[in-house]
Amino acid sequence: MTVTAMPALQSSQELTSAVRRPVPRRAGWAKRHGSILLIEDEVDLNRVLAARLRRADFRVHQSFDGLDGLGQVVTERPDVILLDLRLPTMGGFQLLHRLRMVPEIGNTPTLIMTGDPDPLVEEKAELMGIREVLRKPFSNKVLLRAIRRILE
């Protein structure tokens, strides 16, 4: 697996101008269910989730920190973002806040996954327009159902 560094996007204006650039689609891409950007810093969990999603016919882009994840949302334009909240370089809610400022990508369906037991997580997520919060650990079946629901 090759991990490439995404450009650091420092301002909303840089983010907006980056989003307006066209995204080339790769020839021969035939995955049925679309693309998912998985932003999870725990390497083993990231790899396991990516493998599960690929087996379910999703095209998966992986990121291991918030800033890189933000860059990949801009460059890859995923159909769904699967987002951990506790990330290096930029937390999940901070990333969501930055995304929401840019209309072209701000409404990308996002599913939060967290091990944080704080009940306020759901409230904050709802205020940011998130319909699904998964508490870790979760099963493959629960994950795939949640993704289907947010894509409907």
Q: What is the pLDDT of residues 46-89, one digit of tens each?
A: 999 999 999 999 999 999 999 999 999 999 999 999 999 999 99
The answer to whether residues 81 and 112 touch, using CB atoms and an 8 Å cutoff, is: no
One-letter-per-residue 3-state SS of the chain: CCCCCCCCCCCHHHHHHHHCCCCCCCCCCCCCCCEEEEECCCHHHHHHHHHHHHHCCCEEEEECCHHHHHHHHHHHCCCEEEEECCCCCCCHHHHHHHHHCCHHHHCCCEEEEECCCCCHHHHHHHHCCCCEEEECCCCHHHHHHHHHHHHC
Predicted local distance difference test score (pLDDT) of residue 13: 60
* CA-angle at 72, arms to 99 and 103, nearest 5°: 30
Predicted local distance difference test score (pLDDT) of residue 33: 73
**pLDDT below 50 — which residues of the chain?**
1-7, 23-31
Predicted local distance difference test score (pLDDT) of residue 108: 94
**What type of residue is 83?**
L
Q: Which domains does the chain have, with CATH numbers?
A: 32-151 (3.40.50.2300)
Q: What pTM, to 2 d.p., does this model score?
A: 0.81
Kindly state the percentage of the chain with pLDDT values over 90.
71
Predicted local distance difference test score (pLDDT) of residue 151: 87
Predicted local distance difference test score (pLDDT) of residue 102: 87
